[in-house]
Each structure stands twice: as C-alpha cells, then as structure tokens.
C-alpha cells in the first residue's frame, strides 16, 4: 500500500519544484512476540520473550511488555539499561525523535536493542498498515507523534489478545506526560508514569535511585527562596546574539575556585576572547563545558581573575549568605590593568552534561534520603541526589547524572547511576580516571571484531600486489622494554655507488583496517592508544596491535616503507615510498641496541647497521638543532612494580640513551618526507600536524627565572631560544639548564592535527620544520592511518574513497583526534599521579632535595629531580597563624618572614600522602630547609595531621 504527499517548493532561482513523497505501508511487519500466529515469524533480530518473567509489579501483576514514549527514553535511559528491565517495545516514531534530539542516548538505546538478553524489540510502526497515522489539520508534529504512539500501544494490546486470550499478555504504556497518560487511559490503554511503574517493582528497590529527577521548575519555586535569575528562552538568546546584545561561548569552570569561571567567546580565532564570570548569581547554573549566552557587565563592574583558592566544602546545602561573604573576598583591591571583561550567564544554549564520577557526602540528618554527591572533577558543582543506599555507598566511587537545576536550589538535582567500587582500589581508580577523561575503554564489540582477519594468517599472493618484497633486508626494531605493539623498524645498507640506503618500515595497519567498516569507525572514535602505568587501552584489537601488525622479529609482516638514498653526510639524494613485506631480524630494546653499538667485540650485520644509523642520526640531529629545533625536557618517571601485588616499589626518572635519539631522528625524517609527499599530491586535504609559536607573553616567566640566576634567554625566534638555552649554564649550579628546559616546555603551545585546505600556517615550531605529519605509529594513532591511506593513493598502491578527499570531514576528524590526544595525555598524568600516591603510601614519609619551579602568592611549586615529582608547598594553613608574606611579581619572588625564595632555589622538602580528603588524596609537601620558625618542620617530626576525617568523626560522635 502506498501513501503519497505532493507539495510545491520554491527554488533559489525563483522556479517552482514539485516534490512527491511516497510512504510505503506493509502488513508483514512482525510484532516481536514469539509464537504469534498472525505475524508468523516476520520479525528479525532480538525479539521479546514469549512469557515475560520480569520483576513482579504491584500495579500490573500479569505478564506484560513495556512501551515507553520519547521522553522516557531520553530521560530515563539509566533505568532502561538496568538488567531488571527487559521486554521493551521501542517504536520507530520514538527512535526517530530520540535520534534527532540526543545522539548519545540514541547510541545507548541502539546498544540495548542489540543486546539479546534484554529482549528490546524495535517495531516499525510508521510503515505498518494498522499503526501508521497521518498528521491531521491543525495538529502539530509533537501531538501527531503522541497519537501515533498511543495508536501503536492500543494495536499491540488488541493484537496480543488474539494471540493468547488465556495468557492475558498486556502492553503497558510508560509516559511522564500528564495529558498523554490521561488520553491513553481514556482510550483503554494501561498507562503509568515511569516513577509509578519503577516504584511498583517491589523486588528491585535500587531502581528508584536511578530515576531521573524531573520535577518541573515551576512547581519547585513555591518551595524555597529564588537564588538564580531565570534563563531566557532560546529564541530570545538567538535574537540577542544576532544583535550583539549577548555573546555565545563555552563555559569553563575553574578547578581552583568554584565561584569563578571563564567563557571562551565563539567567533573568529583572532577574536577569541575570554570573559570572566564571578559569583554564584553570575554563573547562573551553568556547568563546565555548557554552551552559554552571556551579557557583558558595565565596565565599573569588571573584576580581575582571583588568585584565591576556594573549594566548595560546606556541609550546609543552601547557605547562600556564606557564599556572598566568600564572593566579597574575591573582590580584593586590585590593579586597574588586571581588570578583565566580566559578564553573567543569561541563558543556556546547549547543556553538555555527562555522567560524573565521585563520592557521596552523606547527610548528617538521620534517615535522610537526600544527600550531596561530590564529583571527582573540581570544576563540576556538587549534585543533590535521593538514594536509599547511602550507607552502602559511603567510601565508594559512584557515577551520578544531572537531571536539572531549579532556580531555588543551590545545587543541581541528579540521580544515582552506578557503583564503581571502593575508593583507593586500583581497578576502581583506573576506571574513574578513564571515565573522567572520556577514554573509550569498553571491550571491542563483536561487530568490530568480525572485521579482523581469520587465523592462522599469512601473506598471500593477493597481498603482494602493488607491494615490494623486502624480506631479504637486514631490518631490526628498537623499542622500550616490554613493548608488544612494534610500529616501526629500520634498515641500513651500503650501496655500490658509495652511498647508503636507509629505510624506515612502518606497520601497514591500513591494509587490515578498511575505510568505513565498524573496525575503522571504532579506531577513529578512540583516536589513540592510551598508556597508563599498568594498563594499555588499545586503539585497535589486540590481534592487530600485538600480533599481525606488530613488526616482531623472525615473522613476515606487511609494512609501508620510506626509503632514502643518502650520502655519508646524511644528505638525501632520493626518496621513495612503497608498500612492502619485511621480516625483522631482531627486536631490540634501547639498552640492547646501545650495548651492541658500544661493544667492540660485536660486528654482525645488525650491529654494523645500528652503528651506521647512529652515525647518520647524530648528523641529522645536529643539522636540525642548527635550524632552530628545540631540545626541551620534561621529567618522565618510570615505576618498578612488585611482581605479585603490582604495587609500585620504586620510582625513577627515565634514562635516555643515544639509541632513543637515533630512532627518533629517523622517525622525524620519515614524518617530514611523507608530509611533503601527501601535501604535493593533495594540497587541499592532507592531514598535517602543526605546532604554533607561543605568544611572547608565555615566555615572561622563563626570562624572569633565568634573569634571577644572571642568565639571559632570548625568545624572538625558536633558533635564538635554542641557542640561548644551550648557553645558559652555570658551573656552580649544573642542574639549572635542565630546569630552564623544563620551564621552557611549560611555555609551549599544544601541537595539533589540521587539514591543509583549512589552514595556511603549517609550521612546526618545536621541530623548526615548515611541514610535518604523523606517519610512524599507525598501531597507536588513527591520524597515521589516514596519512597511510593518503600516501597509498599518492603512490598508486591503494584506491581512494569520498571521505578521504572531503576537507570538512577531515577537519572534523582532526578535531576529535586533538581532543582524544589531549584526554589521553591527561589520563596518563592522572595514572602517574595515582601510582605516585600508592608509592608514597607504602614508602611513608621521606625528605628530599627539590628546586623551586614557580613562586605563588602563598606557596612555592617545587620539582624533586629524584622522583621527577612536582608539588606545592603552602605557607598558609587553616587554624594556624598566618606568616608575613610579601610577593613580588616582577622578580618573581616570595618573602616569608625574613627568607626570600626565587625560582630555581634549592630547598629540602618532606613528602607524604595526605588522605584527609578521601576523594582527592594528594601528595603533600612541607618545607624542611631553609629553616623558618613556625613554617619549617624538622626532618624527624612531621607534625602533620593526615587522618583528618577520623578526628572529625570523633567530634561528631561526642
């Protein structure tokens, strides 16, 4: 049966176009209930259970299926995902609406419908002859969809009666829309709100905690005093943004001060400006990463960024007077120059809420169900939730979702989602840091794994098409110890002409991951492999990362090779790129390769090759530094783990050898050679990597720090910076050069991926290269897979596909890759921080030498070279007399009583683990030397209370 609609549309050119839309209706669409004679097995995929054995409902004791409307699916997805909820009919109407309104919820509901154990059935009601409804005159789309859902629910109940009169199978309509529910009951459809139904499941009381709290703002107002001003409707906000009355931007909350935030105004990159917001009322219920509309305040109300650290730790939920007092502290006497454009939030354009990890702060009121949840991320406000299991959740990491933020509430309302495990437990904390940094880490799905090659795998004749056989070459790889995902290998050989041939061979991952399939999509979503202290979250499944793509020794592997002909002065005479097959003759660690190079007794082919490569690498490095490439420093640490408990037993800074540098030089050269080739071939859509030059203001701290030690640092070009860093030496203080390089690293901008057709600045500042890309690590970086595909098309070794030459799609991909790389970096740092805490927990209290990296108004930031550890020594503590502090921003220096601290001064500090805040355990440092009465502590007596919670508990018990 065919329904068709015809309408006329005016074209841009002024003509009229007739559009005919055809809608096919069928009567062979199954209802999803097995054993239904009328449908005769017309359904495919996951189906409903013939006899639903769901938890008994006191409202509906007989067997039943559930049919939720769109809003239930959108807001109560946490309830629907619970294992207790099964046998749900998801209508096409509902699914389409969810898809238009929330991509994340749509993905989650698709995952649930694909889970066979959940028995969720998708019913195509829009194409079923008996359930399709047409929009009536004067009826809006929303009302039409509501009617379509009711029609489908009624049809289901009548249809199931025919199937089994004795079974009394029912379909229950779940809706939170009051009018829709009333209409359904009038039409004889059993209907309940989500809350009514969940509360009727007496065997599953924990489900009530997962209900999203959706009380309408209007009803909330009567119950308390209004704290916040009303958010303007979207239509007014859009008008205001258009007219310039309001500005649109991304809300970024402060980690250090919960009463302060900045908004990055959207617009031209040149005009990117930052507006500061201060005070609860001006923040007006915006949450970190929301897209907001703000109104600029008049100049006489502008403020300066506060240097006060304020964390929201009050137990009294709605003590607004106290907040106002704290806001006054922020507005201390300030220099006119420091004032910044200041604004207030007038409305929310898009909420970017996600599930948050954290801990429950149990209410002091006995039997209370309302508690505050404190997120692990200090930028997120505390969330009020209702739960009956508060005692069981104390001291555990949990996940909570925000439901809304009424005008009369100091905190947003939310609901409990999941219990992750005990605080401090290694597995739990790893899960938290992966969730908080949005690192996709679920096991690869069957759909993804289905695209892996079948084992046993070997190179076939088909694989060798457009590929050179280089298995005869003496190829070897050099990697860190324990590396199983070997991306790269090298070869070196003398040519008859007297020149040398050097090859970089990179795993040919793009041979196994074909464009557009589920494996490719998942790799693109993950973007990068994430290396934690004891765990690796792979970008591609292990069969590829540690086996088929890994260039292990003595096995045939597919590669993408970049081969140069050079003279002995490392000048490139020719370069060629080819897909290849190789067989690595050795997989060495950096230490093993170094030992071979240094050992006079070893003269085999591999060792000779390594010596040749090392000699060329030194020349390449020298030439690169001559051009102005920077050699910066960052203290990287390595943990030595106990083989049984897997706890860190030692912490050392990583040692770098010549061989590290050797491999790095050839990888850089390969990346630059490939960047030139793909840009030559695809000037508009090459995926490149750039490193912008830092603005001069970034270097102020570096220049001042050097000056305080009578050294001069020039920053007008990368070359002058590199040269002045080389000259910055002190016989009496040899470590100063390393400290300057560490500080210079902090001044740098972030390197980013970009599409060549969307940008005209390609320069890589740190490498002093006019063009650069990533080609050498496709097992662990998705950017390299795209570069491989571009290069393969450029040399005719593979065919192209539409997305590869679409610069807008490539720009979107780069945006995701940049985000994933940044998050992976943060997750790695968080993992190092957690393992450092574990190390000092077992090590106890230690005193070590440290150097000052920064001076603050009330603290010094120090670096402990032995552990590569950074920490802050605070000089103002609660309940202790305040010392006399004088901060000089110009030098910079901090005078405490009669002692002056400058950057790079040597001090001695005591390091210990502070567990007073279970959620934010941290390494705490105190000054031992120089001795300042009332500030320094002796090396023997820590005099620190690190079990603060115990004391508070006892006080309360009294």
Topology (CATH) of 228-306+333-352? OB fold (Dihydrolipoamide Acetyltransferase, E2P) (2.40.50)
pLDDT digits (tens, 9 = 90+) for 166-178: 667 889 999 998 9
Report residue 691's pLDDT band, with 50, 70 and 90 as the boundaries. very high
Q: What is residue 42's predicted lDDT score, i.e. its pLDDT? A: 60
pLDDT digits (tens, 9 = 90+) for 721-735: 888 888 888 777 888
Task: Report the C-alpha gap between 305 and 249 in whole angstroms.
Answer: 18
Q: What is residue 955's predicted lDDT score, i.e. its pLDDT? A: 37
Q: What is residue 255's predicted lDDT score, i.e. its pLDDT? A: 82
pLDDT digits (tens, 9 = 90+) for 872-920: 888 877 667 777 888 887 778 888 888 888 888 889 998 888 777 777 7
Q: What is residue 329's predicted lDDT score, i.e. its pLDDT? A: 57
Tally Cβ neighbours within 10 Å of residue 17.
Answer: 10
- Scored b (16 or more CB within 10 A) or e, 497-532 reads eeebbbbbbbbbbbbbbebeeebbebbbebbbbbeb
Task: Report the C-alpha gap between 874 and 897 in whole angstroms.
Answer: 14
DSSP assignments along 282-340, one per residue: HHTT--TT-EEEEEEPPGGG-B------B----SSTT-HHHHHHHHHHHS----GGG-B
- Cβ neighbors of 792 (< 8 A, separation 6 or more) are 510, 560, 579, 798
Quickly count helices (H) and strands (E) in the chain: 25, 37
Does the structure show a pLDDT above 70 at 22? yes
Average pLDDT over residues 580-609: 93
Report residue 680's pLDDT band, with 50, 70 and 90 as the boundaries. very high
* C-beta separation of 33 from 51 below 8 A: no
DSSP, collapsed to helix, strand or coil, labels residue 138 as coil
Q: What is residue 616's predicted lDDT score, i.e. its pLDDT? A: 96
Tally Cβ neighbours within 10 Å of residue 935.
Answer: 17
pLDDT digits (tens, 9 = 90+) for 314-329: 545 555 555 666 666 5
The residue behind tokens 């922020």 is 330
At residue 913's C-alpha, the angle toward residues 936 and 655, to 5°, is: 95
Longest distance between any two alpha carbons in the chain, whole Å: 96
Task: Report the C-alpha gap between 125 and 501 in whole angstroms.
Answer: 66
Same fold yes or no, 228-306+333-352 and 844-929: yes
Report residue 686's pLDDT band, with 50, 70 and 90 as the boundaries. very high
Superfamily for the 844-929 domain: Nucleic acid-binding proteins (2.40.50.140)
* C-beta separation of 766 from 630 below 8 A: yes
Topology (CATH) of 48-210? Rossmann fold (3.40.50)
Strand (E) or helix (H) holding 414: strand 413-422
Task: Report the C-alpha gap between 903 and 880 in whole angstroms.
Answer: 26
Report residue 533's pLDDT band, with 50, 70 and 90 as the boundaries. confident
pLDDT digits (tens, 9 = 90+) for 439-477: 999 999 888 999 999 989 999 999 999 899 999 999 999
Does the structure show a pLDDT above 70 at 645? no
Does the structure show a pLDDT above 50 at 703? yes
Task: Report the C-alpha gap between 726 and 460 in whole angstroms.
Answer: 53
The residue behind tokens 């020794």 is 553
Residue 738: name the closest of 767, 698, 697, 709 by CA.
709
DSSP, collapsed to helix, strand or coil, labels residue 473 as coil
Does the structure show a pLDDT above 80 at 239? yes
pLDDT digits (tens, 9 = 90+) for 41-69: 565 666 788 777 766 788 888 888 999 99
- Cβ neighbors of 269 (< 8 A, separation 6 or more) are none
Does the structure show a pLDDT above 80 at 396? yes
- What are the residue ranges of helices labelled H in 654-776? 658-681, 700-708, 718-727, 736-747
Does the structure show a pLDDT above 60 at 429? yes
Residue 741: name the closest of 869, 633, 654 by CA.
633
Tell if the pTM clears 0.75, that is, is over it: yes
Q: What is residue 327's predicted lDDT score, i.e. its pLDDT? A: 60
Domain limits, the chain: 48-210, 228-306+333-352, 354-405, 446-689+755-825, 694-748, 844-929
Percent of the chain at pLDDT exceeding 90: 40
Average pLDDT over residues 148-154: 94
Average pLDDT over residues 154-164: 83
Task: Report the C-alpha gap between 199 and 208 in whole angstroms.
Answer: 6
Task: Report the C-alpha gap between 930 and 907 in whole angstroms.
Answer: 6
Mean pLDDT for all residues in the chain: 85
Task: Report the C-alpha gap between 603 and 594 in whole angstroms.
Answer: 14
Long-range CB contacts (within 8 A, 24+) of 702-710: 702/740, 702/743, 702/744, 702/747, 704/890, 704/891, 704/892, 704/903, 705/739, 705/740, 705/743, 705/903, 705/904, 706/740, 708/891, 708/893, 708/902, 708/903, 708/904, 709/733, 709/736, 709/902, 709/904
Task: Report the C-alpha gap between 42 and 275 in whole angstroms.
Answer: 59
Q: What is residue 224's predicted lDDT score, i.e. its pLDDT? A: 57
Greater confidence (841 vs 401) lies with 401
- Calculate the CA 476 to chain-centre distance: 35
Between the alpha carbon of residue 242 and those of residues 34, 231, 250, 528, 555, the distances in Å are 56, 18, 17, 39, 63
Which of 182-196, 260-274, 371-385, 676-690 has the weakest average pLDDT?
260-274
Report residue 218's pLDDT band, with 50, 70 and 90 as the boundaries. very low
pLDDT digits (tens, 9 = 90+) for 807-850: 899 999 999 999 999 999 999 888 888 888 888 887 888 888 89
Q: What is residue 644's predicted lDDT score, i.e. its pLDDT? A: 60
CATH 2.40.50.700 fits 354-405, yes or no: yes
Greater confidence (47 vs 246) lies with 246
pLDDT digits (tens, 9 = 90+) for 487-521: 999 999 999 999 999 999 999 999 999 999 999 99
Between the alpha carbon of residue 855 and those of residues 123, 870, 908, the distances in Å are 64, 13, 15
Task: Report the C-alpha gap between 412 and 402 in whole angstroms.
Answer: 7
Task: Report the C-alpha gap between 924 and 917 in whole angstroms.
Answer: 12
């Amino acid at each position: 049966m065919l329904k068709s609609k015809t309408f006329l549309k005016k074209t841009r050119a002024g003509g009229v176009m007739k559009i005919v839309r055809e809608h096919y209706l069928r009567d062979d669409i199954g209802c999803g209930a097995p054993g239904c004679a009328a449908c005769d097995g017309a359904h495919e995929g996951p189906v409903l259970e013939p006899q639903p054995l769901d938890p008994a409902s006191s409202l509906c004791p007989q067997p039943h299926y559930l049919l939720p409307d769109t809003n239930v699916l959108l807001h109560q997805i946490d309830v629907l995902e619970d294992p207790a909820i099964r046998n749900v009919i998801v209508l096409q109407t509902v699914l389409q609406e969810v898809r238009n309104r929330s991509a994340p919820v749509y993905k989650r509901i698709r995952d649930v419908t694909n889970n066979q154990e959940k028995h969720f059935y998708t019913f195509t009601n829009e194409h079923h002859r008996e359930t399709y409804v047409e929009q009536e005159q004067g009826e809006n789309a929303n009302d039409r969809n509501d009617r379509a859902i009711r029609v489908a629910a009624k049809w289901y109940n009548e249809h199931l009666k025919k199937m089994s009169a004795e079974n009394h199978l029912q379909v229950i309509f779940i809706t939170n829309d009051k009018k829709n529910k009333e209409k359904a009951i009038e039409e004889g459809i059993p209907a309940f709100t989500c809350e009514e139904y969940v509360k009727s499941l007496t065997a599953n009381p924990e489900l009530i905690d997962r209900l999203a709290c959706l009380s309408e703002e209007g009803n909330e107002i009567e119950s308390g005093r209004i704290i916040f001003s009303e958010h303007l409707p979207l239509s007014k906000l859009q008008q205001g943004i258009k007219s310039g009355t309001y500005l649109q931007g991304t809300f970024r909350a402060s980690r250090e001060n919960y009463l302060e935030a900045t908004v990055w105004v959207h617009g031209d990159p040149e005009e990117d400006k930052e507006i500061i917001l201060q005070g609860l009322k001006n923040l007006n219920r915006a949450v970190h990463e929301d897209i907001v509309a703000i109104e600029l305040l008049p100049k006489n109300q502008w403020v300066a960024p506060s240097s006060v650290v304020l964390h929201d730790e009050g137990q009294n939920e709605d003590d607004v007077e106290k907040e106002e007092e704290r806001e006054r502290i922020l507005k201390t006497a300030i220099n006119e120059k420091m004032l910044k454009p200041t604004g207030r939030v007038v409305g929310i354009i898009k909420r970017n809420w996600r599930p948050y990890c954290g801990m429950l702060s149990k209410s002091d009121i006995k039997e209370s169900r309302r508690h505050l949840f404190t997120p692990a991320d200090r930028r997120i406000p505390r969330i009020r939730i209702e739960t009956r299991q508060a005692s069981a959740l104390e001291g555990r990491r949990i996940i909570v979702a925000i439901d809304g933020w009424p005008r009369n509430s100091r905190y947003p309302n939310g609901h409990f989602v999941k219990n992750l495990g005990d605080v401090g437990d290694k597995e739990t904390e790893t899960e938290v840091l992966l969730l908080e940094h949005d690192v996709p880490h679920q096991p690869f799905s069957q759909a993804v794994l289905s695209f892996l090659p079948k084992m046993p795998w070997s190179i076939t004749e088909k694989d060798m098409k457009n590929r050179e056989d280089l298995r005869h070459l003496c190829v070897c790889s050099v990697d860190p110890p324990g590396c199983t995902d070997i991306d790269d290998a090298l070869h070196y050989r003398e040519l008859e002409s007297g020149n040398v041939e050097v090859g970089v061979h990179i795993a040919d991952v793009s041979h196994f991951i074909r464009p557009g399939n589920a494996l490719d999509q998942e790799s693109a979503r993950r973007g990068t492999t994430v290396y934690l202290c004891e765990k690796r979250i792979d970008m591609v499944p292990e069969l590829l990362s540690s086996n088929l793509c890994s260039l292990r020794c003595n096995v045939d592997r597919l590669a993408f090779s970049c081969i140069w002909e050079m003279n002995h002065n490392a000048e490139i005479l020719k370069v060629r790129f080819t897909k290849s097959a190789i067989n690595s003759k050795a997989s060495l660690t950096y230490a093993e390769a170094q030992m071979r190079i240094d050992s006079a007794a070893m003269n085999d082919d591999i060792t000779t090759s390594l010596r040749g490569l090392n000699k060329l690498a030194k020349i390449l490095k020298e030439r690169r530094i001559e051009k102005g490439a920077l050699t910066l420093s960052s203290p990287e640490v390595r943990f030595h783990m106990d083989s049984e408990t897997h706890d860190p037993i030692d912490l050392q800074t990583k040692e770098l050898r010549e061989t590290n540098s050797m491999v790095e030089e050839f990888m850089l050269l390969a990346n630059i050679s490939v960047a030139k080739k793909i840009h030559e071939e695809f000037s508009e859509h090459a995926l490149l990597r750039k490193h912008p030059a830092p603005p001069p203001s970034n270097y102020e701290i570096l220049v001042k720090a050097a000056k305080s030690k009578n050294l001069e640092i020039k920053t007008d070009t990368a070359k002058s910076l590199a040269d002045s860093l080389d000259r910055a030496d002190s016989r009496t203080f040899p470590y100063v050069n390393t400290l300057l390089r560490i500080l210079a690293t902090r001044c740098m901008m972030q390197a980013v991926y970009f599409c060549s057709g969307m940008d005209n600045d390609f320069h890589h500042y740190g490498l002093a290269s006019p063009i650069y890309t990533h080609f050498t690590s496709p097992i662990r970086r998705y950017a390299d897979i795209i570069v491989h595909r571009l290069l393969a098309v450029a040399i005719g070794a593979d065919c192209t596909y539409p997305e590869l030459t679409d610069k807008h799609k490539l720009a979107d991909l780069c945006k995701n890759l940049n985000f994933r790389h940044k998050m992976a970096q943060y997750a790695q740092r968080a993992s190092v921080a957690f393992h450092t805490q574990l190390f000092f927990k077992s090590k106890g209290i230690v005193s070590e030498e440290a150097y000052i990296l920064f001076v603050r108004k009330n603290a010094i930031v120090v670096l402990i070279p032995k552990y590569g550890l950074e920490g802050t020594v605070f000089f103002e503590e609660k309940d202790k007399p305040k010392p006399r502090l004088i901060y000089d921003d110009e030098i910079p220096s901090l005078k405490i009583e009669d002692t002056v601290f400058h950057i790079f001064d040597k001090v001695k500090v005591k390091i210990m683990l502070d567990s007073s805040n279970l959620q934010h355990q941290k390494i705490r440092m105190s000054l031992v030397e120089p001795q300042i009465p009332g500030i320094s502590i002796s090396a023997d007596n820590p005099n620190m209370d690190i079990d603060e919670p115990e004391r508070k508990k006892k006080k309360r018990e009294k």
